[in-house]
Structure formats: C-alpha cells, structure tokens
Structure 1
Amino acid sequence: MGDRIEIITAPLVNVRVTSNLNSFMAEKRFDRGLNIADLKGRLELITGATAGNMTLQVYNENDEPVCALSDDDALLGSYNVEENYRIHVNDPSKKEGEFEDLSKVEKFELSEEEYAKRNDSVKSYLMKNKLGKYNAEEQARIDEERIAAEKAEEEKANTITVGSRCEVKTQGDPTRRGVVMYNGKVHFKPGIWIGIKCDEPMGKNDGSVGGKRYFEAPMKYGAFVRPANVEVGDFPEFGEEEDEM
C-alpha cells in the first residue's frame, strides 16, 4: 500500500514499455482508470509475456525504480506513474529473447522465377497496370521530385549552424525558440534533422533518442525537426522583447 498515492492529473499517461523477453522498447498511452489486471492484459499483447505470471516495475526518467504495480485491483492512476516513465514487464516463465529467435520459424521461400509467374502478386498487378517502377515516366517523375526535395533540404540545412539562435514552426505545435545543437543525419529516421535545445520544456527528449545521444539538454527541452521548419536569426527568448520595451 505504501507505493500508492492519490493523484489528480491527466486521464491518459504516456509510458515506455520494456520486458525481459525482448530487446525492443515500445511507447504506449494508457488510461489511468485501468486497473492493474487490465493493464497486464494489454501488456501481454505488447510483450508476449503471460498476464498471470508477469510482475511490473516502474522506473522514472533517470531509470531509478519508483514502485511495483503489485495490486491487480488497484487503478494505474493510484500509483506514481508519470509521463515517459518506464514500465518493465518480467515473466520468469519464459526465456529471455524467446520471441526474437527466428531460427525455429519455418520460412516460406519463393524464387524470383516462380514469383514472376504468379498472376495474383503485387508485382503482377503493378506490371499489368503500369504502376510504380513499371511506369517509366511516373517513376522518373517521382525520382526527380525526391532528388529535388533532398537537394532543397540539404541547401536549407547548410544555412543552419550549430550554436545559432533559432525559431521553430511545425504544423500543430506552438512556435518554439531555442539554440541549434545538432545538424545532420540520425539513426531513427532518414534525411537531415536539426537538434534544438528549446528555451522552454516544449520538446520530446533530452537530446538523445533510443539510447543514442546527439546533444545535451534537460528532459523535455530537446527536439529534432526538419530543416524546413527552422529559421536562424536573432530570436530572443519569448518575453524578452516586452522586457526591452
């Protein structure tokens, strides 16, 4: 009972989910009104662990243990589970990495020649209707547009220097200001990305993603955006303009 506290907060919470059965991490949103038994049922679908065997441990953003979700009848909201905390699922009845071992999975293989003879394949449909790469003119246009977009992105990125003040505008988000901390390619998405240390906690990370660090920033102050969304210049922090007047 000592692990549970009464909280008044948003009805949904975003958490990271890990388990002893696989190496991947999932980001999920759960309703704080779920009881722990229902939460285990959902985590069973995510991790492959068995709900009846699993134990749940909560870790904060510094990967420090916070509490164990041990009462199946209790609500998730009655525990100290905050945004971006991690719930680790442990199922001692299953072997570590059991669901990542593909050596025992029987594979269905089809040769290129056999695949080309099929009339019900995606390749057959594309060839018959002259779509995608089987339409030379259309594919040439797509390639030209992609090359032009990549060139424009690279040219814009070349105008953005690390250490510059900047303003960031992305659709659906409020305007942010901060400092350019990174300019280049990243491991989690293709293309060029600009790492920003925001003036306010309006980011999504601390300058690291998936365990790889690109720059230093407090949690929620780091963000990665496309070059097209960034303008560098003499952008003071919001509120400083009024102070100067």
Structure 2
Amino acid sequence: MGDQYQVITAPIVGVRVTSSLSSFMAEKRFDRSLTIGNLKGRLELITGASAGTMNLEVFDDNDKFVCSLTDDAALLGSHNIEENYRIHVTDDSTKMGEFDDLSNVEKFELSEDDYSKRNDSVRSFLMRNKMGKYNEEEQQKLQEQKEALEKAEEDKAKSIAVGNRCEVKVQGEPTRRGEVMYVGKVHFKPGIWVGIKYDEPLGKNDGSIGGRRYFDAPMKYGGFTRPAFCEVGDFPELDYEDDEM
C-alpha cells in the first residue's frame, strides 16, 4: 500500500540562498546526500557566516516557513526541501555588512515580472524541464494521492465513536488500550485525529494541548492518534504486569 504513494525525488535540488549578513541572493544546487554539517561548510563560503554558529531556516517558494535545519548529522534529503525553496542563513556572531560595504552600492532589486523573464533562473529551469509544481501531470497525481489518503482517513474515522473501547498500535511504541474520547479535527495538526483516555499512563497529556481542551483525562493518560492506528472493539484492559513477567 505504501509503495503506491512513494514519490521519487531528484538527487540534486536547486535552492535560493539568502543571509542575514548580506542583501544578496544566490541560486545554488546541492546534492541531497549532503549532511547538514557539510551544507553549512558550503554556505560558509557563499555567505561569510561561520559554519559553527550559523542557523538555517527553510522557506517555500511562497516564502512560507517550512523547517529549521538543526541536526548536522542529518541528510539534506531527509528534509522536505523542494526546487526553488529558500535557505536563509543567520549568524548572530557576525554583523550585517561585515563582509561587504553596501553604503556606496546601488541596491539591486529584481521584480517578480523581471525574475519570471530570466532564462538562467531556477524557476526557468523548472519550467523548461516541467519539474516540481510546473509538471501538471505529476502535480495532478500528487493531488489525487492526497485526496485518496484523506478520503481513507475520513472513512476510517466514521467507524470510530466517542465511548468506544479501542486499541492503538503505532510502530516502535507499546500497544495501548483505552476509551475514545474525541474524534475530529484539532488546532495543532491537519487532518482528523482520535483523542483517547488510556488505561495506563502511556499518553502525553491530559486531553488538552496548547491551552485547548478536547477531553478530560488524568495527566499522561491522554493522547491523540491517527484513525489508521486506532481499532475499536471489545478490548479489555491489558495486564502490563503479566507482560513484564
């Protein structure tokens, strides 16, 4: 089932690089197999920021924040970075203009219309090769996959009702049982979630997250999971003492 929705990404990704140390933007292509530590070393040569103290934030092509690159051992390809995304470099140990005096330089600004007319930009490369969001067929397939997954989630959620006994199985976590207390959308994540009061203190909260309460449970007895991981039925409480023996 999972292979049906597998998306193969290119080994090289083109991004825009900006920095708190300069007003200039660079367009670069990086191998997704680079570690974040190695990426910082390359960005040090581009921006002048120190690899040891720089912070990296990723923004999409609409300038919406995507993620921070904090784990130096992680691979660039393990993060959700697509073509034409922007990596912004900050370094509090270095001041703006330390590596370039812009006081006597006319600021270069490129309008959206002028940028779209350039033949050497990342955007023009994507358009010529019908990659990323400029590949209508690929985007249509991704949209259909997304809609299919959302439909499957909605259908599964309809079989789960408040008051049901349930069993939750998530890979890498112990099997948990409890009572369904909430089914629906939440403010902290997209999609439909199931709120559960567990039989044992194997949860993460008391039924509230970020100051918003969805149900009542003792601390550590409450939790939320996706409908796909939740099965309802006649599940008696688990005897964890016997399991340990």
Q: TM-score, normalised by structure 2?
A: 0.51
Secondary structure at 1:181 match in 2: strand
Match of 2:222 in 1: 222
Deviation of residue 225 (structure 1)?
0.5
* Counterparts in 2 of 1:143 and 1:178: CA distance versus 1, 3 Å: same
Give the structure 1 partner of residue 160 of structure 2.
Answer: 160
Aligned residue number for residue 71 of structure 1:
none
Partner of 1:149: 149
Residues 1:209 and 2:209 aligned together? yes
Match in the other structure for 1:239: 239
CA apart distance, 1:127: 1.5
Give, as a single letter, the amino acid of the residue that structure 2 aligns with 1:159.
S
Look up the equivalent residue of 2:192 and give its one-letter code.
I
The answer for the alignment partner of 2:66 in structure 1 is: none
2:171: which partner in 1? 171
C-alpha RMSD of matched pairs (Å): 2.5
Counterpart residue number, 1:192? 192
Task: State the alpha-carbon separation in 2 of the partners of residues 188 and 109 from structure 1.
Answer: 37
One-letter amino acid matched to 2:230: V
| Residue equivalent to 2:94 | none
Structure 1: 5+ residue stretches without partners: 1-44, 46-107
Q: Partner of 1:124 in structure 2?
A: 124
Map 1:69-84 onto structure 2 (within 5 A). Answer: none
Distance change >3 Å, CA 185–CA 110, structure 1 → 2: farther
CA deviation vs aligned residue, 1:184-232 (integer Å, no higher than 9, x gap): 0111110000001111111111111111111111111111100000000
Counterpart CA distance in 2 for 1:109 and 1:233 is 62
Which secondary structure state, in structure 1, belongs to the residue aligned with residue 202 of structure 2?
Answer: coil
Identity percentage over the alignment?
70
Name the structure 1 match of 2:114: 114
3-state secondary structure, aligned to 2:197: strand
Closer/same/farther in 2, CA of residues 163 and 115 from structure 1, 3 Å limit: farther
Change (3 A) 1:138 1:219: same
Question: Hey, what's the Cα distance between the residues in 2 that align with 1:157 and 1:110?
Answer: 48
Q: In the TM superposition, what whole-angstrom CA distance separates every residue of 1:136-169 from its partner, at most 9, and x where no partner exists? A: 1111111111110000000000000011000001
Q: Alignment partner of 1:116: what SS?
A: helix
**Residue 149 of structure 1 aligns to a residue in which SS?**
helix
Residues 135 and 177 from structure 1, CA distance in 2 versus in 1: closer, same or farther, beyond 3 angstroms? Answer: same
The residue identity in structure 1 corresponding to 2:143 is D
What letter corresponds to residue 176 of structure 2 in structure 1? R
| Shift of residue 120, structure 1, vs aligned partner | 5.7
SS of the residue 1:220 aligns to: coil
Q: What letter is aligned with 1:210?
A: G
User: Which residue of 1 is the match for residue 180 of structure 2?
Assistant: 180
Q: 1:221 to 1:125 in 2, by over 3 A?
A: farther
Change (3 A) 1:130 1:204: same
| Pair 212,114 (structure 1): closer, same or farther in 2 beyond 3 Å | farther
1:108-138 deviation line (CA, Å, top 9, x unaligned): 9864313313456543342233122211111
Q: Which amino acid aligns with 1:112?
A: E
**Structure 1 residues 145 and 206: CA distance shift in structure 2, 3 A:** same
Quickly say closer, same or farther: Cα 1:158–1:118, change in 2 above 3 A: same
CA deviations over 1:167-190 (Å, ceiling 9, x no partner): 001111010000001100111110
Give 5+ residue unaligned stretches, structure 2. 1-53, 55-107
What is the count of residue pairs matched by the alignment?
136
**Where in structure 2 are the equivalents of 1:90-101 lying within 5 Å?**
none
Work out the CA distance in 1 between the residues paired with 2:115 and 2:185.
Answer: 36
